[in-house]
Structure 1
Amino acid sequence: MAEAQGRKPGRVYAEYFIGDAVVRLRQSENSLVYEVEEPKLNERIRKLLDKAMEEYVKKGTDPEKLAEKYSKRLEEGEATALRYYLLRELKGYSKLHVLMHDENIEDFTITMPGPVRLIHRLAPHYEWIESNIVIESDEELDRLVKLVIERAGGSITPANPVVEILTPAFDRVAGVLRGEVSLHSSITVRKFPRKPYSLARLIRLGTLSSETAAILWLAVELKCNMIIAGLTGSGKTTLLNSLLLQLPKNYKIVTIEEHPEINLGDHPGWLPLYARTPTAPATRQTAIPLTRLLKAALRHRPTIMVVGEARAEEVQDMVTAAAVGHGTATTLHTDSLEHMLRRLTSYPMSLRPDQLALIDYAVFIARRPDGRRQVTEIYENRGGKWEAIYDSRKEKLKLSEKLAEKLALTYKGLDPMEILTLEVRRRAEKLRTLARAEEVVAAA
C-alpha cells in the first residue's frame, strides 16, 4: 500500500478515485505531490491474501474466483481490500497499478529505486512531480519492469535488455533491464489521453491564445499544408490532434502513424492507418511502411492527410498529396525554422524548392522551463519566403494573407482581410467561452 513518506499535509488541489484507490494532488513546498491511498490492510487480510496467492501458484485458479472465495469470510470493507490487492497482483501492475490506470497521468518514470515521478495532465506546468509510491530496491524495480512489459505481451531479458512496446490501451512503454546497458533498470510509460485535449483546453493551459488558435484552426480547415515542429515532449501531437478535432464532420481525415497517438474519437470521417514494423527476422517481409500507407491513403480521397511524424521519404508522398489539392499536416522533431528547412531539403526527405513551396505554415511549440507548453512562432510561406506572423516574445499576431486569399474565394466581392478579421474574431470568442469551462490546477 502506498503511504506518505513523512511529508506534512498541504493543500489538496485535486482528489479522485481510481477504482478503490484515492488519488490526491497535494501542495508540497513549490511543487505538488501525487498521493495514492489504497485500501487498508490488516493482519487478517494479509493472511488470506497469502493463502489465495499460494492457491493461485499451485492450482492456477482464476483470480476472480479466488477473490470471490476468500472474500466471503470478510466484512464488506475487508472484502474490498482483499479483492483489490489480489487482482492488483495477479492481473494488474502491482505497485504501479494506479499509475497504469490513471488517465490523468501523461507520463511516469522510474530510473532507480526511490519515488516514482510523473507528469500530471491537471498540472503539466509542474513538470515531473514525485509520488508517494516508492520502489524500495533494484530487485523490486527489475520485477516491475518485467511485469509491465509482460502484461503488454512482450519480454525483456539480459539478451534483449531494451524494449519499447505498446500496452493493450496503446500506452507506450520503454523499459531497460540493468546489467548489460544500465546501472539500474528503468521504465517510462507515456500514457496517451483517452479523451484528447481540445483546442479550448490548450488555451486554458496557456499553450496559445484564442486568436492564435483561431488562425491555426482556420488554416487546417481551409486545407492548408502545415508542419508543427518542436522537441520531444513539447506537445506537437497534442496540438495537431486538437486542431483536427475542430474539423467539420463532412471532412475525411486519414491519419498515418507508426504508433497510435492521434485520437479523433467518434469523428465520422476519421480513417486511422498504422505502419507494421515486425522486429523478428522471419516476419520482416510482412512489414507495411508509412510510404505504402500514404499511397493507399490517396485512394480514399481524403480531405486532410496527416502523417504523425515526418522522418524520411514519406514526406515526398505527403507533398505529392498537397500538390493535388489535399490538405496535409505533420509533426517534425526540430526547434527552429532554419533547422526545419535544412532537414526537409536534406536526405532522406530531400524536398526540392518547388515541393517546399507547397508547405504553407510552420508552427513551433516548446516546453518552457516552468513546464508549460507554448506555441512560440508561426511562419507563413509566401512564394518561398518565410515570414513570421506570430512570435510569442513580441506577443503580436499578424493576420495571414494566405488565409484571406482562400476565404476570398468563398466570399467574393468582399474585402479579404475584413472577412478574415471577422472570422478569426468569431472563432476566438467561441474558443474563449469553451476554455473558461476547462479545469486546470493553477501554478503555485
Structure 2
Amino acid sequence: MAVIGFGKRSGLTPPSTASFGSAQTARRPLVNEPVTPEGRLSASMSAEAAGCIAEIHAVIAPELLNLFPNSSRTQTRGELAAQMEQMVRRVARDLGLMVDEGSVRDTVTVLLNELVAAFGGLEPDPLGEAAARTQRAAALSKNSVVTAKERVHPLLMERIDASVMAEMSRGELAEQVSEVVSEILVSEKIHLNQSEQRDLVTLLLNDMLGLGPLEPLLADEAITEIMVNGYKTVFIERKGKITLSDVTFRDEQHLLNIAQRIVSAVGRRVDESSPICDARLLDGSRVNVIIPPLAIDGSTITIRKFSKSKLTLEKMLEFGSLTPKMCKLLNIAGRCRMNIIISGGTGSGKTTLLNAISRNIDPDERVVTIEDAAELQLQQPHVVRLETRPANLEGNGQVNMRDLVKNALRMRPDRIILGEVRGPEAFDLLAAMNTGHDGSLGTLHANRPREALTRVENMINMAGLNLPAKAIRQQISDAVNMIIQISRMRDGKRRITYISEIVGMEGDVITMQDLYTYRYDGEDEGGNLRGEHVSSGLRPAFYERAEYYGLGRALMECM
C-alpha cells in the first residue's frame, strides 16, 4: 500500500510526539498534519437545523407545483417522498448546508404536506409507504457512502503514516481514522449522517487492513463460497444456491491488490510470471487466484469459506445427507482403521465429509496431513500439517505432494491424510496404506466409485513407473477398503450417493459391492429432491475386521 509519510505534502510539518487518541504512552501520530479547530464540525449545528429547513424550503416551495405537476396524483406518497428526499439533499449541497437525517425528513414532510393540500390527497401506497421509503433511503445511503469513499480514500492516504498504522490495532486505527475522515468530509463539503460516516470508516478500514469489499461476505456465515469474476461481478453460494451479489471493486487494479494481499500473507505470489496461486485466509478459508493473461475477463478469486462450526456426521444426518444407519456405518469404518477414499465433484463436500469421518481417529494417534492449501480441521491433538510450496522466481524450490508423501513416511505417522489426490502421489499413498498405515484417508474428483478407481489407476501411471495394469489394480485392491461418493445435487443439497467397499480381484478386474446407494424419487413443490438411501443388505466384507475391534454386531445392525 502506497502511503505518503511525513513531509510529503507541501506546507506540512510533522506534529510533535504528543499522544494521539486515548493511548497512554507516547506514540507517533497517525495523521501527517496537526488537527485544526476549524476542521471540526460546529457544535451548534444541531441548533441551526430549523434554519436549514427554512432555507431549503424557501428554494423548493415556490416551484413545488411545477416540479410535481398534477400528474403526480398517480404516484404513491412513498414514491413522491423518495423524489423529494433526493431533491432536498441536492439543494442542501448546492447551498453548502450540512443537514442530518432528521432535518431531511422534516423538510420532506413539510413539502409533502403542502403538495397533498394542493392536490387534495394522493394515492395510497399499496406496498406500505414506510417500508418502501426505508428501502429507498437505505439504497440512497449506500450510494452516498460509496461515492464519498471514492473521494475520501486518496485524501486519507495522504494524511496517514503507514509505519504508524502497522503498529496499531484495528480499534485504535478506527478511532483515529474516524476523526480524520470527519475533517475531510467538512473540508470537501461531503454531507453524511453519523451512521453513514461509520459505514464509510468501516469500508476504508476494510480496504486498508482487510479484503475490501469482500469483508461483509466473509463475515456472513450463511455464505459458503465467494466467486469473483472480474472487478464488476461477484457471485456467492448460500444454502447450495449460487446468486449474484451487489459487491463490486473500484477497478481491476483494486481487485489485483486484494488478490496480492491474500497470497502474500502465506508467503506466495501472483503476477504475470506466476498467474495461478492457491492460498488460504487467516481463518483457514481456501483461496484460488488466477489473473490475466490467463483470466481473460479480469482477475478471478474463488474463496471456499472456512466453517466456524465443526461439521460432524451427526450434523450431516440432520441435513439429510445420510441416514442414521449410514452414519453409524461410517463411524464404525473410521474406528476400524479402514483406508477410505472420498470421491465427488467440485464443491460436493468431500473435505467436509473427510473432516467428519476423521473425528473417529483416536487422540493418541499421530496424524500427518498433506495438502496444497491447508484447510483440514482435524480435532486430534497430535496432528502434523504439511503444505506444498510452489517454485520461486528462478523456478527452484518447489515441493510437491509426492515429495511430502515420501517425507511423511519418515515421520512415524499412524495415519496419512491427503487433502486431495491428483497426481503421481497416488502411488506413494497406496504404498503407505499397504505398509502399516491403516486408516489413511484421501479425496479425489470422480462421479462414481468405479470411476474413482480408474482415476487412481491413471494417476499411478502418471508416475512413469511402467507397471502392468494388473499389478496396479492389485495394489489398489489391497490398499483401499472403501469409497464414499458424495454429490451436490440440483436442489443445492449434498448427499452421500454410494458407500462401496472393495472386495478383491477377479482376474484383472477389481470387484466391489455397494453397501448403500441413493435412489432418486422425484421432486416436491419446493424444488427439493425426494429420494431414499437403500441398503443392499449384504454382509460387509470388513465384518471380520469389525469383529477384531469389537464392532461386528453393531456393523450388522447397520445393514
Using the size of structure 2 for normalisation, the TM-score is 0.59
Q: Which amino acid aligns with 2:513?
A: E
> What are the ranges of 5 or more consecutive residues in structure 1 without an aligned counterpart?
1-5, 7-36, 426-444
Q: Secondary structure at the match of 1:197?
A: coil
In the alignment, the residues of structure 1 paired with residue 145 and residue 255 of structure 2 have an alpha-carbon distance, to the nearest angstrom, of: 26
Give, in angstroms, the shift of residue 295 of structure 1.
Answer: 2.8
Counterpart residue number, 1:339? 451
In the alignment, the residues of structure 1 paired with residue 194 and residue 547 of structure 2 have an alpha-carbon distance, to the nearest angstrom, of: 68
Encode CA deviations 1:190-223: one digit per residue, 9 max, x unaligned: 2232444222222222222222122122112211
In the alignment, the residues of structure 2 paired with residue 372 and residue 152 of structure 1 have an alpha-carbon distance, to the nearest angstrom, of: 31
- Is 1:404 the counterpart of 2:543 in the alignment? yes
Give, in angstroms, the shift of residue 159 of structure 1.
Answer: 6.4
Give, in angstroms, the shift of residue 240 of structure 1.
Answer: 0.7
* Structure with greater helix percent: 2
Give, in angstroms, the shift of residue 162 of structure 1.
Answer: 4.9
- Is 1:379 the counterpart of 2:489 in the alignment? no
In the alignment, the residues of structure 2 paired with residue 173 and residue 41 of structure 1 have an alpha-carbon distance, to the nearest angstrom, of: 28
In the alignment, the residues of structure 1 paired with residue 245 and residue 322 of structure 2 have an alpha-carbon distance, to the nearest angstrom, of: 29
Encode CA deviations 1:320-347: one digit per residue, 9 max, x unaligned: 2222232211111111233222222231
Encode CA deviations 1:384-440: one digit per residue, 9 max, x unaligned: 2201111111622246523421122244xxxx8534245x59xxxxxxxxxxxxxxx
8 Å CA contact 1:399–1:421 kept in 2: the answer is: no
Give, in angstroms, the shift of residue 317 of structure 1.
Answer: 1.9
Give, in angstroms, the shift of residue 46 of structure 1.
Answer: 8.6
In the alignment, the residues of structure 2 paired with residue 237 and residue 294 of structure 1 have an alpha-carbon distance, to the nearest angstrom, of: 18
Using the size of structure 1 for normalisation, the TM-score is 0.72
In the alignment, the residues of structure 2 paired with residue 379 and residue 45 of structure 1 have an alpha-carbon distance, to the nearest angstrom, of: 54
Task: Provide closer, same or farther for how the CA distance between residues 308 and 159 of structure 1 changes in structure 2, counting only shifts above 3 A.
Answer: closer
* Structure with greater strand percent: 1
8 Å CA contact 1:253–1:269 kept in 2: the answer is: yes
In the alignment, the residues of structure 1 paired with residue 279 and residue 410 of structure 2 have an alpha-carbon distance, to the nearest angstrom, of: 31
Give, in angstroms, the shift of residue 79 of structure 1.
Answer: 6.8
Counterpart residue number, 2:430? 319
Structure exhibiting the larger radius of gyration computed from Cα positions: 2
Counterpart residue number, 1:420? 555
In the TM superposition, what are the counterparts of 1:201-240 in structure 2 within 5 Å?
A: 201-240=315-354
8 Å CA contact 2:279–2:373 kept in 1: the answer is: no
In the alignment, the residues of structure 1 paired with residue 346 and residue 512 of structure 2 have an alpha-carbon distance, to the nearest angstrom, of: 24
Question: What is the root-mean-square deviation of aligned Cα atoms in Å?
Answer: 3.6
Task: Provide closer, same or farther for how the CA distance between residues 66 and 340 of structure 1 changes in structure 2, counting only shifts above 3 A.
Answer: closer
In the TM superposition, what are the counterparts of 1:38-437 in structure 2 within 5 Å?
A: 53-60=154-161, 62-63=164-165, 67-69=174-176, 71-72=178-179, 80-81=198-199, 83-111=201-229, 116-120=234-238, 123-124=239-240, 127-134=241-248, 140-153=251-264, 162-177=276-291, 181-265=295-379, 267-282=380-395, 284=396, 286-326=397-437, 327-346=439-458, 347-348=461-462, 352-358=472-478, 359-384=480-505, 385-393=511-519, 395-397=533-535, 398=537, 400-411=539-550, 418-421=553-556, 424=558
Q: Secondary structure at the match of 1:255?
A: strand
Task: Provide closer, same or farther for how the CA distance between residues 220 and 119 of structure 1 changes in structure 2, counting only shifts above 3 A.
Answer: same
Deviates more, 1:401-410 or 1:226-235: 401-410
Aligned residues: 375
Task: Provide closer, same or farther for how the CA distance between residues 93 and 259 of structure 1 changes in structure 2, counting only shifts above 3 A.
Answer: closer
Q: Which amino acid aligns with 1:98?
A: P
> What are the ranges of 5 or more consecutive residues in structure 2 without an aligned counterpart?
1-78, 80-137, 183-192, 506-510, 520-531
Which of the pair has the greater relative contact order for Cα pairs under 8 Å at 6+ separation? 1
Q: Secondary structure at the match of 2:541?
A: helix
8 Å CA contact 2:149–2:204 kept in 1: the answer is: no
% identical aligned pairs? 24
In the alignment, the residues of structure 2 paired with residue 98 and residue 388 of structure 1 have an alpha-carbon distance, to the nearest angstrom, of: 44
8 Å CA contact 1:254–1:270 kept in 2: the answer is: yes
